[in-house]
Chain A
Amino acid sequence: MHECEDVRMQEALPAFRAGRLDAAEAEAVRTHLASCEVCTRELELLTTAQAVLDQATPVVDAARIAAAVIGASAKAERAPVAAPRVITLRTRRWWASRQLLAAAASILVVVSLSIPALRGTGHAPAVDGRLDSMVAAEMTGGQGGHAVAPSIDLAGGLADLSSAQLETFLKELDQVEATVRAEPATIALPLIDSPELL
């Protein structure tokens, strides 16, 4: 048998047989086939090969396969992704103690930073005694508030407190309301009447 000289058409035969060409390409192949015996015979051979494979292939049960696919998917979804983490009582206690320590440390840091800052405020010429009374006033909730009078003298700052005093102070802090007032207590400032500042 001679070979077809139109290689492009001959190469297009499998796709033409499988129905993978667009309308224009398919029409071009049909036109070529009308005048090419070599390609016509080759196309017949390809069609026979397809028929042979069709005949040799058992018909599979698509519905049964689909059911297996869906079943396998559902089974995969039900499978646990990871084993749940077991938290023992000991672990829980350890975490609880860590959290308490962290909370206590946070309070200490905030208080130790805020007291010196209040002392050094420029427009609040408070002396130690007045600051203590302000802190005491805050702790008592202001006028008419619930009395939680500080039993510790904070004049020297937290650094001067002993461990026992610090513990007492922390206990007293626990009784103070967590919500602070939006407006700070008014501070009676001395009148500035110096002529050079006016």
Chain B
Amino acid sequence: MGDSSGTTSETTDAALISRWVSGDQRAATALVERHAQSVAQFVVSLGERERTEELVQDTFVRAFQAIETFRSDSLFRTWLFTIAKRLVLDHRRSERRRRDDVEVQEDHLVVSFDALDGMVGDERMQQVWRAMQGLSPMQREVFTLRVTEGLPYNEIAQMVGSSAGACRVHYHNALKTIKERVTDA
């Protein structure tokens, strides 16, 4: 098992949260070190590469301020992703209001990946990257959560506010699109 579940042989997420609530500051550091990069990756997949670290920090600050509301039957990392997504949407809404006073819907999670073309290494990776640009925001979010975290559809559904069946369809449509756009895939 990977460490994404927070139930490795090391201290579990739940145990670290208990230690933090008891006043152990090192527990907070351990939790941040364990999950920060995954949250950052999720934020990037939502198209917020420029403000990644700021959003990741805000996510953790919000999470630790509301740690009493965290239900131990769900994954801490999944909870962090939910908070991060809410922050991204809030940021987009306020940005959009500032620009043209138009309400942003969830579908407006448009990612501008163009600037990242030069960062992705070989030809095959660039093809995958461009193929991911062509996905709808919902497809990209479901695909990212499924690939990077290996989450089951029901957990993804809770995060994106959809059904498990719909998420399954989004994932397979995303996979099909990428396969079609990548040679030898």
Q: Do A and B share a complex?
A: yes
Q: Which residues of A contact B (CB under 8 A)?
A: 1, 14-22, 41-42, 45-46, 48-66, 68-70, 72-73, 76
Q: List 18 A–B pairs whose Cβ atoms lie within 8 Å, in order of A's numbering.
A: A14-B150, A18-B147, A18-B150, A19-B4, A20-B4, A20-B5, A20-B150, A22-B1, A45-B185, A48-B124, A48-B125, A55-B119, A56-B44, A56-B49, A56-B119, A56-B129, A60-B40, A65-B57
Residues of A within 8 A of B19 (CB): none
Could you tell me the dominant secondary structure of chain B's interface residues?
Answer: helix
Chain B residue nearest to A67 (CB atoms) is: B29
Residues of B within 8 A of A70 (CB): 25, 28-29
A49-B128, A62-B33, A66-B28 given; name 20 further pairs at CB < 8 Å.
Answer: A14-B146, A14-B151, A17-B150, A18-B147, A19-B150, A20-B149, A45-B175, A48-B124, A49-B147, A53-B45, A56-B129, A59-B37, A61-B53, A62-B29, A62-B32, A65-B36, A65-B53, A69-B61, A69-B64, A70-B25
User: How far is the CB of B135 from the nearest CB of chain A, in Å?
Assistant: 11
Residues of B within 8 A of A20 (CB): 1-2, 4-5, 149-150
Q: Which residues of B contact A (CB under 8 A)?
A: 1-5, 25, 28-29, 32-33, 36-37, 40-41, 44-45, 49, 52-53, 56-57, 60-61, 64-65, 113, 116, 119-121, 124-125, 128-129, 132, 143-144, 146-152, 175, 178-179, 182, 185
A46:B2 contact, CB within 8 angstroms: no
B128:A52 contact, CB within 8 angstroms: yes
Q: How many pairs of residues, A versus B, come closer than 8 Å at their CB atoms?
A: 132
A17 vs B149: C-alpha distance in the bound complex, in angstroms? 9
A66 vs B2: C-alpha distance in the bound complex, in angstroms? 22
Residues of B within 8 A of A61 (CB): 53
Residues of B within 8 A of A72 (CB): 61, 64-65
Residues of A within 8 A of B44 (CB): 53, 56-58
Chain A residue nearest to B126 (CB atoms) is: A52
Instruction: Check A54/B41 contact, CB under 8 A, given A18-B4, A68-B57.
Output: yes
B29:A66 contact, CB within 8 angstroms: yes
A49 vs B149: C-alpha distance in the bound complex, in angstroms? 12
Residues of A within 8 A of B152 (CB): 15
A48 vs B129: C-alpha distance in the bound complex, in angstroms? 9
Chain B residue nearest to A47 (CB atoms) is: B147
User: How far is the CB of A134 from the nearest CB of chain B, in Å?
Assistant: 64
User: How far is the CB of A3 from the nearest CB of chain B, in Å?
Assistant: 10
User: How far is the CB of B20 from the nearest CB of chain A, in Å?
Assistant: 9
A41 vs B175: C-alpha distance in the bound complex, in angstroms? 12
Residues of B within 8 A of A45 (CB): 128, 175, 178-179, 182, 185
A42 vs B40: C-alpha distance in the bound complex, in angstroms? 25
A36 vs B182: C-alpha distance in the bound complex, in angstroms? 20
Residues of B within 8 A of A1 (CB): 179, 185
Instruction: Check A52/B179 contact, CB under 8 A, given A62-B32, A65-B56.
Output: no
